[in-house]
Structure 1
Amino acid sequence: MSNPDKKPLRVLFCIGVTQTFFDLPASGIKTVWAGVGEMLKGMNSLPGLTILGTMDDDQVMVGASHAFPWTCYILADVDSVETVTAACNLFRVTEVGEHRLWRYLRVEARMGRVLEVPA
């Protein structure tokens, strides 16, 4: 599904940390964070995706997040649903040791449009 009017989609990537992450020893947590860094680099390099900002709730959110409130968020302008799908797929393909990133983090993308207040 492309974006026929060519206005960017405003996308909020909501990321939750799973209990599997919290079950890891300290050395495993470092490996996951390296995977998160790779995923963010991959997302930032996707053509048609511009990261506008991030927010991390880790100081006031403790433990696994199964739904809202999520652990962290990425706000981006994205050119198409296909690019949003490619960004989400990074959680499936980014290797973290013997596993993939989605073992430790989950993602949900909320898509909308820029809120334009009429003059």
Structure 2
Amino acid sequence: MRDSNLPGSDLLKTVLEPLLEDFQYWFARSRNFLETEHLSFMSEQEQSGLLERVKQAQEELNTAKMLFTATEGQVGIDMATLMPWHQLVQECWSVAMRFRSQQLDGQDGDSK
């Protein structure tokens, strides 16, 4: 539902701008993680494939942000574009949580 006190471009800036910044943050963090960590529960090919999908999403995101900025917030982004980004971030979170869980399990094993 739309707040009738906010014009369309202000609404887009209020909602979309922080969302794009969040995606930018999580993709950068995921990329760094995938480039620097060895994930024993994934094959090299799986890890490389996930990294490539993050890089592709970063490129798409950068393009969307440039359009958004160039049009001074007059352009929105289709949900068909946002949903795969959201799913990719969730996938990266799951991988990072599994990695962290394995690290913690390894620490518990060291103290026994």
**TM bucket normalised to smaller:** 0.3 to 0.5
TM-score between the two structures when normalised by the length of structure 1: 0.37
Q: Which has the higher helix share?
A: 2
Larger Cα Rg: Structure 1 or Structure 2?
2
Structure with larger RCO (C-alpha < 8 A, sep 6+): 1
Q: Which has the higher strand share?
A: 1
